[in-house]
Amino acid sequence: MLTKFLKYVLILILYQSPLYSKSKILNEFNSPYLSNYFSGIVAYDNEDNSKALRFFQSSKFLIKKHNSYLEKYVYSLVLEGKVQHATTEIKQNSIGNNSNFFEAHLLLVLNSLKGKNYKKSKEHLKNSYKFINNDKTALIVAETLKQYLYVFEENKILNTKKNFGDFSLINEVFQRCYLDDKKTKTYFEKLINIKDDPREKSFNNSNHSRYIFFYINHLIENNKYQEAKEISDNLDYLNSSLLVSQGKKWIENKKLGKFQKIFSCRNSNDIVSEFLFLVANLYSSQEDYEKSNLYLNIAHYLNPKFKFNLALLAENHFVNKNYAKIKKILKNFNEKDEFYYWFKIKKEAQIILEQQNEEVSMDFINSNFKKIKDPSIKVIFDVANFNKNAKKYDVAIKHYDQILQKINTNSELYAKILYRRGASYERLASYKNSDRDLLKALEIDPDNVYVLNYLAYSWLEREYKINTALEMLERAYAQRSNDAYIIDSIGWAYYLIKDYIKAENFLKRAVELMPEDPIVNDHYGDILWKLDRKIQARYFWENVLNLEETEDKMKKVIKDKLIEGLSNS
């Protein structure tokens, strides 16, 4: 904040110095234009881009008189989705050093590319290298666009090119797809880790599962519907991304024309747009939401048909609590595309939660869920989890029941749902049903550390089968020795069998890993009391009272401990 303040002060000092005040132009600069420009910078730095753009537009006189003006103005235009307008401003107002930034030349590259003027695009790209300034991502963008332009002009893959790991593999897949190269299928399968034996396909485990959608798209575009269907049939909704789930749904409903309506790898704009989405996704993962939104809007400019990519734009804005923009973006999604419509409902429910309360949010999501005809397992699973997290366990259990009726009883997915239903029963103190579900889940998946931990801790809380619970926790700990929840559970098990030295070792680690968890702090206080370290015990109990997540019921117990110690607690 101090850095920003000093920057503004420096601007004011600079433009009010005697040297500049003698100039008629700069006297004009010092009038309302400077005030609006200054306000624009403040709004821009505060991530209020709409307001920033209004201020920049009202101080547009400065566009050819102040070098950094054009950059901020262009950024603001692009962030508002006005990419063509931004490009026009660069073309009309680029003089001297005011366009000495990479994104200005990138926009010119893409504007020429969109018009299929590849020669002009290459000229702009060559100029862009001057402004990369050790920015690795900018270098990747420039080098990759160089490859694409070569492919579009020469109709072949560039042989000598820099390798950027996954970026390079992904882009070569799309370049081969564009050329309808005979190795396209091989490259797609390499990208998404599909094994040769169809019975062993494990698409959902791939780090590049998004590209299953584009592989299916490629197959359908080449009239290989049966191959596309085989891939789709091997996917399950619960482990698939939004995009892949939507593609699977289209195939099930035989709406194959939907694929080419939004993307074709034979379209140069479409594949470059997908590359820019990849860049935007990278920036988002690095929490650079401004750059991510910049590239998302440019990607949308190249391929406005692919509205589903706007989901990431909505997610970015949610982080910055820009709810008005999210609502505007969400208008792009409707009931015709179930999974993105459901994304819209969930995001609106999240906004309601932030602006109002959980009860209103849950009423919204449950009422909208009821309007969906024949919802998919993925949607039912989501609404079950929403209700479970909102402690509406009875409602959650009914939805888990629906899912269990639709899936293979011996699958890991079945075990996953049993775990969630069993946990819901446990929260309702329906222990017989809870134990049944959790034990059945372990029959299917005996080494699932989360189920082992949950069931064992439930037994410890009831002081039931403590030794068996400890054995289960030791199995879980052997697999996840750094999991704070498991460490806390195993420490508590040793506490209950009065092995206080071992208990203290584990619980100390747990509180170091989760210092803000009230249960862990409470447990550690208990073991310290048993070890006659009572001052320290009271310190951790008092800490529980100050933690945000401590429930009222627990606070009462802790207050009793602070007065009576453990004897009557």
User: Can you give 442-478 as a three-state secondary structure string?
Assistant: HHHCCCCHHHHHHHHHHHHHCCCCHHHHHHHHHHHHH
For the chain, the average pLDDT equals: 86
- Dist CA 96 CA 33 (whole Å): 21
Write down the pLDDT at residue 434.
Answer: 97
Closest CA to 76 of 106, 44, 102, 46: 44
Write down the pLDDT at residue 411.
Answer: 82
What are the pLDDT digits (tens) for 477-528?
999 999 999 999 999 999 999 999 999 999 999 999 999 999 999 999 999 9
Residue 10, both tokens: 């420096």
Asked whether the predicted pLDDT for residue 206 surpasses 70, the reply is no
pLDDT band at residue 175, thresholds of 50, 70 and 90?
Answer: very high
Write down the pLDDT at residue 51.
Answer: 54
Eight-class DSSP state of 437: H
What are the pLDDT digits (tens) for 309-329?
999 999 999 999 999 999 999
- Dist CA 433 CA 102 (whole Å): 61
Asked whether the predicted pLDDT for residue 547 surpasses 60, the reply is yes
Residue 302, both tokens: 């190249």
Write down the pLDDT at residue 501.
Answer: 94
pLDDT band at residue 45, thresholds of 50, 70 and 90?
Answer: low
What are the pLDDT digits (tens) for 137-166?
999 999 999 999 999 999 999 887 788 888
What are the pLDDT digits (tens) for 267-314?
999 999 999 999 999 999 999 999 999 999 999 999 999 999 999 999
pLDDT band at residue 465, thresholds of 50, 70 and 90?
Answer: very high
Asked whether the predicted pLDDT for residue 95 surpasses 50, the reply is yes
Q: What percent of the chain has pLDDT over 70?
A: 84
- Dist CA 331 CA 326 (whole Å): 9
Q: Which comes out higher in pLDDT, residue 77 or 51? A: 77
